[in-house]
Structure 1
């Protein structure tokens, strides 16, 4: 076993364990809070699906009162996409992409809209493999990477975009250490105005030791644990 792997594997387990025991906020009421809890603080699929269902219900209620609300639309799309990931529903996956693309067309300089499009393509490829993701869903690495680049360029207000991009880059290509490290370093220096910024800054800092050691494989393995539902046990 390479020395770097021997050193960093315990760190992967420790980082994943630390996040796994984080409590789900008792007062998670907004769709964003519910989805953050489902994706990053829940290890049980059934529990995650309950939280996702609640997020969809709340989003639908908001949209009934305020049609076209940007935040509710975004979180509804994310929730449906998360449900697709956990249940492997092609119809949900396609519905979520349609929501994201419409949102990006409406808000062309919205970093989050670009990030969810990037995540849709790159997560599908990671979960299904390139051929199956392209054949079954139309997912394309080139589109995902382009959206990820746009998200980072637009999202310079906090740690969310560079932190998430760092993990997605190294997960997609464990040889792309230089780019992933650049993004992770930026996230580590970035402000944290929202809970998601806090999560992504912490996660970027967690993968930095492996990236600084030029150990892309270990960084990629840890990134998989730290990305949404990476600690799911069933």
Structure 2
């Protein structure tokens, strides 16, 4: 049983109001990850996102956006239903996208989130034994995602939270990324969300309180406000 939290997953959807009018997979997944009030509502939105992305792929098999969002959605479902098979399926999607375009920051963030979330939830030994998750792979993909993401706030904002969650003593790197997010560009609503998150954890990081920064980061990451 496994609860992978796709930050990457998270991370790869544009923020939109949680209304019945949300139609694209990105909108549906954002509502599920950041605005759904409970697990059943989140799962319903995820199911709609999977159906929508698969409909697009049926018409356009090579559609990168639909494939990406399908991977995010399946990863989200894996977290909420504790499905090991879904977790592996989502990783396979991100790895294929990264192989097609090694400079795709969203694919890299998906890989990073998969490995690091697995370790966060299962512990390093169990995550490696049950799923093959490796901290080194996740951390390398995380750094690549930030490097490839340009000046956008999204990538360093998400990376800062994932990093301090992973290691409460690594204040320097987490603070560097949070500060980059705080001054980053916000071309999408998701960038705005991650910029706010970076600003939110900066006071704790600047006070050298890694524990507080990590606790807040867990709440700001996808599904952080939904009780188990």
What is the TM-score with the length of structure 2 in the denominator? 0.91
Q: How does 1:115-130 map to 2 (within 5 A)?
A: 115-130=109-124
Per-residue CA distance 1:189-233 (angstroms, 9 max, x = gap): 011111211111111111011111111110000001111111112
Q: Would you say how many aligned residue pairs link Structure 1 and Structure 2?
A: 213
What is aligned with 1:16?
none
Most deviating of 179-188 and 25-34: 25-34
What is aligned with 1:68?
62
1:104 aligns with 2:101: no
What is aligned with 2:7?
none
Spell out structure 1 runs of 4+ moving beyond 2 A.
Answer: none
Task: Give me the CA root mean square deviation.
Answer: 1.2
Structure 1 stretches lacking a partner, 5+ long: 1-21
Q: CA offset at residue 23 of structure 1?
A: 5.9
Per-residue CA distance 1:99-158 (angstroms, 9 max, x = gap): 000000001100000000000000111111111111111111110000001001100141
What is aligned with 1:40?
34
Query: What is the aligned counterpart of 1:215 among 209, 219, 225?
Result: 209
What is aligned with 2:9?
none
Give the structure, 1 or 2, with the largest relative contact order (CA under 8 Å, sep 6 or more).
2
Relative to its length, the structure with more helix (as a share) is 1
Q: In 2, distance between residues paired with 1:122 and 1:32?
A: 22
Per-residue CA distance 1:148-205 (angstroms, 9 max, x = gap): 0100110014111000000000000000111101100000101111121111111111
Q: In 1, distance between residues paired with 2:107 and 2:57?
A: 18
What is the TM-score with the length of structure 1 in the denominator? 0.88
Change (3 A) 1:56 1:167: same
Q: How does 1:178-193 map to 2 (within 5 A)?
A: 178-193=172-187
Q: In 2, distance between residues paired with 1:128 and 1:231?
A: 19
